[in-house]
Structure 1
């Protein structure tokens, strides 16, 4: 069981890093990395689901049991939404592939490109909520791997201070990247008529063109080439979108903690 938890933890870390890097297709060589790593991510996500299949089966069987807590029901609903949205991102990514699957041609490709990107912003928030709900498990795994047996008072204060810094940084990045607008676009994307996406798939989403949202520089005039892959800092992409995810992790963790504390006092 302990080895399985280690595998789950390492797999989750790899998936989180990859998913964050996907928000700019110019990192680590550009589109080739984006598509090839995307296939690896798909395999890792399927493995993640299979490793947690026992929990899914148990909850599914008890879904209509009145004794099942609303916390478990909510977690189940969140995981189901993640499964559906992740599946859409993976499938749509394959359909619009240019390198790994260049011979796949679908109608309304512009719509698939648009929704592939916009739904990714929704998933980033959902993953943050998911991690926040399991943050205590994450902390326990980190303590185990770093051989930290007992938290010292100064370490707790340092962690609290770091949490505030990360939260402020994440909120700043949410504002800088127009994340809220892009998050709204993930909801409206499915209601957009496919003809509005245009033959090139360049329809604006939340005020940003598809290429710009994927890390390309908008054309600035005649003769000015668009930026190619490999010119973007990996550290900047990781910090930006990890910071945004962290806002949802922190908010979910402390809301859950406050709810648990209130129930304890009431009981």
Structure 2
């Protein structure tokens, strides 16, 4: 494996872990970590784009070429969506900042707060699909590492792991009201200035993101010593791990589980598409 590939892999893994931890603003010190790590994600994301800039240039030049594979075109559009949504998360996070930029009063904060959270869930789906499209590389590494094991055995084990991920991730999606949160995100995008209620899995000001309710004067509330008040800590809404904050392990398991559902589904759909393509090519020849 080339050195640059190792760099990309480590960077992507670090981004994924950090991004998932941001789904609860009580982990690892609370909102201070949330905002600083969020800025770090922004820098890492720009680095990720620069490392893949040659691929972007090549595909952009051939985007309307009929010979360009559909998977490549889909991957390009997916990456474009990721660029737009990640940029929105970073910018909106700065606009509603309480720690790093506490005095920055810009934009419609009543809209940015719930939308910042909601778009994060959409990005989680997009990242899962993105990883799923490249999962064949990971599977190839696994198969090489277990090359002494019977291929049928490896195949069965991998299918069992995929099934376990689907079951676990599906359960996490249910317990976290994931479909409702994504639906609320879509609603927020088209309803500027309105704030969805948190009942039934929707968002409410002062809830869900650990933010206090505003006073209506346009001034931002000052966070209390040691973190932010609120019944629900962060996106997850469950307080675990004692007074020091949420358990990072629980947050990682929850949201990697949800992401894993989209990774597995995308991987097997891609695999099915490649199989049909080879079959059609064999029939044509």
- Taking the aligned partners of 1:260 and 1:161, their CA distance within structure 2 comes to 22
Alpha-carbon distance in structure 2 between the residues aligned to 1:192 and 1:151: 57
Aligned alpha-carbon RMSD (Å): 2.4
Q: What's 1:246 paired with? A: 260
- 2:170–2:258 Cα contact (<8 Å) kept: yes
- Listed as ranges, the gaps of 5+ residues in structure 1 are 218-224
Q: Distance in 1 between matches of 2:270 and 2:171?
A: 24
Q: TM-score, normalised by structure 2?
A: 0.82
Task: Specify whether residues 159 and 210 from structure 1 end up closer, same or farther in structure 2 by C-alpha distance, changes over 3 A only.
Answer: farther
Change (3 A) 1:71 1:111: same
Cα distance, 1:90 vs. partner? 0.5
Of the two structures, which has the highest relative contact order with CA contacts closer than 8 Å and spacing of 6 or more? Answer: 1
- Using the TM superposition, give the Cα deviation of residue 215 of structure 1 relative to its aligned residue in structure 2, in angstroms: 5.9
Residues paired across the two proteins, number? 253
Secondary structure at 1:213's aligned position in 2? coil
Q: Does 1:24 align with 2:38?
A: no
Answer yes or no: is the 8 Å Cα contact 1:9–1:141 preserved in 2. no
Structure 2: how far apart are the matches of 1:243 and 1:11?
20
Counterpart mapping for 1:15-94 below 5 A: 15-94=15-94
For 1:103, what is the secondary structure of its paired residue?
Answer: coil
Which whole-Å deviations, capped at 9, do the CAs of 1:183-242 have from their partners, x for residues lacking one?
112222121131x23xxxx8548523355433689xxxxxxx746783211111000000
Equivalent residue number for residue 97 of structure 1: 97
1:150 maps onto 2:164 in alignment:
no
Q: Secondary structure at the match of 1:125?
A: helix
